Structure 1
């Protein structure tokens, strides 16, 4: 799973498609994950992109 901000959501989706060759899932970050930062920058993560 990749946690990302609004700016990097396209990059995260492309990464999941390239690595897993499957359509990614996109979920909003909620609860205790709200303090998680984007894996591409230091902004707060808004989305979690995964392969399932």
Structure 2
């Protein structure tokens, strides 16, 4: 899922402020091992 798609799912306005905030949170989840960034800007759950 991309940050923009997540903003739409959360009913947030699609503005750069919101997408950058979501992107930074997703990057933090990647660093903690909760998510994986399969390609730049595309986040998913890791496979078991």
Q: State the TM-score, normalizing by the size of structure 2.
A: 0.34
Higher helix share: 2
Which structure is richer in relative contact order (CA contacts within 8 A, separation 6 or more)?
A: 1
TM-score after normalising by structure 1: 0.32
